[in-house]
Amino acid sequence: MIVVTGGAGFIGSNLVQALNRSGRTDIWVVDDLQDGRKFANLADAVIADYSDSQRFLAWIDSPAAAQAPIERVFHLGACAVTTTWDGRYMMEVNHEYSKRLFEYCTGLCIPFIYASSAAVYGTGREFAEAGENERPVNVYGWSKLVFDQFVRARTGRLHSQVVGLRYFNVYGPREQHKGRMASVVRHLALQAMSEGRLTLFGEHDGWGEGQQRRDFVHVDDCNAVALWFAAHPDQSGIFNCGSGQDRSFNSLARAVADWFGGDIEIGYRSFPGDLVGAYQSYTRADLTRLRAAGCDIDFRDLETGVRGYLDVLQAGAEIDRGAVASRQRGAERER
């Protein structure tokens, strides 16, 4: 049995799909379905069971948990709303819950692969997995860092695999439930549909309009890394999980515009005041440790990833390149 916490969420539901493709259906999904719309992420998946996240936490303290045939745990459940400043809630969900699962897994020598975040690096320019580079600028990033530090403090006493994956800017299918926290790719695609134009942040922090640069990584590549570690239980540690490339938001917007095939205008708006001092204008995963561990996953380039993702959105009728082209032809006739 494979446990996937956050299995109805964005990265988790895509991992369930990847496990299904590999022939695994003995999957126990753990999540919080207070937002019941997330069920759609698993409607086409095959799983063995589902449990509410709080019920599962109570279960691991029961006598039955010590005898359960759990092969490994992928812990992807978290509060990922980076703009939340409720530190008590953030630490309860992202730190305390993770500690309980860590102690359960390591106590029974169950491999444990969990989601950390590039948010631990804050506004720095160095992204190697080292303490001197880790300066989060929001409580979400700090909650992830504190758990990473908790794991690091126990590394020498571990007898089973523990892997933390620091996800960079992940995009891809099954993120429709995330609202404001969905990827920029999704937001731009929906904006193209509704407005026929794309809008990016303007100048900020020494960067020109749309020139801020991020490491954008497709969710399938992230899950390929997680499954690589599952196949290499001798490897433990905290590793960056990004493409290793930084691309500008202008490049991302152009990839979206090119997919629609029209002359979509790219405009800019003033940088939001509430993000000043708490925004990563630049990220690029340092993959030195990941490659040294032997992980040879080939990350797709941004243009390839965006095209594939938008194809999925079109297949699900969330966007329609034809509709945008028709709107543009109508606008041209009016002019």
Q: Indicate the pTM of the whole model.
A: 0.94
The mean per-residue pLDDT over the stretch 92-106 comes to 96
The mean per-residue pLDDT over the stretch 99-115 comes to 97
Q: What is the pLDDT of residue 335?
A: 47
Sign of the CA dihedral 91, 239, 246, 296?
Answer: negative
Residues 6+ apart with CB under 8 A from 64: none
Whether the pLDDT of residue 136 is over 50: the answer is: yes
Higher pLDDT, 84 or 215: 215
Sign of the CA dihedral 4, 5, 7, 9?
Answer: negative
Query: How buried is 259 (Cβ within 10 angstroms: 0-12 exposed, 13-18 middle, 19+ buried)?
Result: buried
Catalytic residue among 97, 114, 140, 171: 140
Whether residue 292 is contained in a domain is answered as: no
What is the tens place of the pLDDT at every residue in 19-40?
Answer: 999 999 999 999 999 989 999 9
The mean per-residue pLDDT over the stretch 95-111 comes to 97
Whether residue 137 is contained in a domain is answered as: yes
104 flagged as catalytic: no
Q: What is the pLDDT of residue 328?
A: 60
CATH number where 260 lies: 3.90.25.10
What is the tens place of the pLDDT at every residue in 275-287?
Answer: 888 889 999 999 9
38 flagged as catalytic: no
The mean per-residue pLDDT over the stretch 187-205 comes to 94
CATH number where 95 lies: 3.40.50.720
Whether residue 230 is contained in a domain is answered as: yes
Query: Both tokens of residue 35?
Result: 């937002």
The parent domain of residue 249 ranges over 177-214+245-284+301-326
Q: 218 in helix, strand or coil? A: strand
Query: How buried is 49 (Cβ within 10 angstroms: 0-12 exposed, 13-18 middle, 19+ buried)?
Result: exposed
**Could you tell me which residues are beta bridge partners of residue 199?**
267
The mean per-residue pLDDT over the stretch 120-142 comes to 96
Catalytic residue among 50, 89, 178, 268: 178
Task: Give the pLDDT band (50/70/90) at residue 263.
Answer: confident
